[in-house]
Amino acid sequence: MTDADQIRFEEQIADSVTSFLLALREIAREGNGSEAVSLLLLEISQVLLAGARLGAQTDFAPREEFQPDVGPEADIDELRLRLADMLEGVDSYTFVFDPYVPEVVESRLSDDLASIAIDLENGLRHFRAGNVEEALWWWQFSYVNNWGNLGGAALNALLTVVAHDRFDTDFVANAAAVAVADEMLEVDPAEQP
């Protein structure tokens, strides 16, 4: 990779991270549950593409053994609470954390999205402070160890909500969650296929 290609790659990753964080905050601020599921599906898909690009690279190495101080983590508790309130009926879900050691994990979309935001925001603070190697290392490390898996699980949960809405699947085990999803997405029975 040439120096110009490397700079372009770094900027594209930072742009994807910035875009995701801005969109996530806006979705939470708007509090429109009927639009949130589709928008979150789109935003998570896009940031996971950036993560996959990082994961496909040779391991990045930070300049120093210890992470340079870029200040305190952003307070995302309000974001998490807004997401939980907005997604109330579909916030809780389960997924398999490690398919090679299958164990079902109970989780919340709001918690997982907040965790992803913390990881991404930490790398972005390094990037903005000029610690590009540290930012890339952090984004890659945290993608492989945390936010990639959480993003994939959240994406699957949101896709399931959309699938139930679109195809009116008979899914007795989660009938209450499906009903809430239908209400959030404002399903008109006359428009069903």
Structural domain includes residue 177: yes
Sequence-distant (≥ 6) Cβ neighbours of residue 162 within 8 angstroms = 37, 38, 41, 185
Structural domain includes residue 20: yes
CATH number at residue 84: 1.20.120.1550
Number of domains composing the chain: 1
Q: Which domain holds residue 154?
A: 3-57+77-187
Structural domain includes residue 66: no
For residue 189, pLDDT beyond 60? no
Structural domain includes residue 39: yes
**Model pLDDT for residues 24-80, shown as the tens digit of each residue:** 999 999 988 878 999 999 999 999 999 999 988 877 776 666 666 666 677 889 999
**Model pLDDT for residues 6-32, shown as the tens digit of each residue:** 899 999 999 999 999 999 999 999 988
Closest among 6, 5, 44, 7 to 152, alpha carbons compared: 44
Structural domain includes residue 95: yes
Structural domain includes residue 71: no
Closest among 138, 132, 135, 31 to 87, alpha carbons compared: 31
* pTM as predicted: 0.81
Tell me the range of 15-24, 98-107, 176-185 where mean pLDDT is highest: 15-24
Least confident of 66-75, 86-95, 116-125, 141-150: 66-75
Structural domain includes residue 72: no
pLDDT score for 3: 83
Asked whether 20 and 120 are in contact (CB, 8 A), the reply is: yes
Structural domain includes residue 171: yes
